[in-house]
Amino acid sequence: MMKQPGYLKNFLQYWTPRPEIRKVWFSLFTPQVGDRLPEMLKPDERQHAIADMLELRNEFPKLDMPAALIRQFAAPPRSPKDCVFAITTQTLSADLKTKIVPCQFGGNPDCGSCGCVASMGLAAIAEHKLGGIIPVGALFKASVRIGQIVRDRSEPIAAPAVGKGLRVLREE
């Protein structure tokens, strides 16, 4: 559908006049590494979609996507380890037990082609500079590191065997 000229505008023209529609967000298809699927946008098609969204957000106020978020589609996080959304969320399968890793797309996502609006939104926030100096992402990464240090210090450690099993102690 995205390969059709004017698709995004036609979509917005159809949906935004409806009173039950309050906001519209767009995601792009996110493939797995090695995929060759018709849903995948070529780099020039992706750039065209980004340009269309930037233009259409002015024409259609219900397209609730800040320009910084839309521009992030051109430079998605390089890996789930660099993705604020992947780091801050845990996705479960339908059984509500099985974790989907390394991000909501599972498997081996092609992060260079990520089209997740949530990932782009949080990446745009991470790039925002507080006081024009400090990127929010740097503060976030520092916070994650501190949390990991605290968690690691309170991880259960195995003590020598007592009776028939191991006794687990917490380091205080």
Beta strands 91-92 and 129-130 are: unpaired
Q: What number of residues does the chain have? A: 172
Question: Would you kindly state where each structural domain of the chain is located, as residue ranges?
Answer: 7-127, 129-172
How many other C-beta atoms lie within 10 A of the C-beta of residue 166? 12
> pLDDT tens track of the chain, all 172 residues?
888 889 999 999 999 999 999 999 999 999 999 999 999 999 999 999 999 999 999 999 999 999 999 999 999 999 999 999 999 999 999 999 999 999 999 999 999 999 999 999 999 999 999 999 998 988 988 888 898 888 888 866 555 544 444 444 444 4
Identity (one letter) of the amino acid at 155?
E
| Six token digits for residue 87 | 């780091």
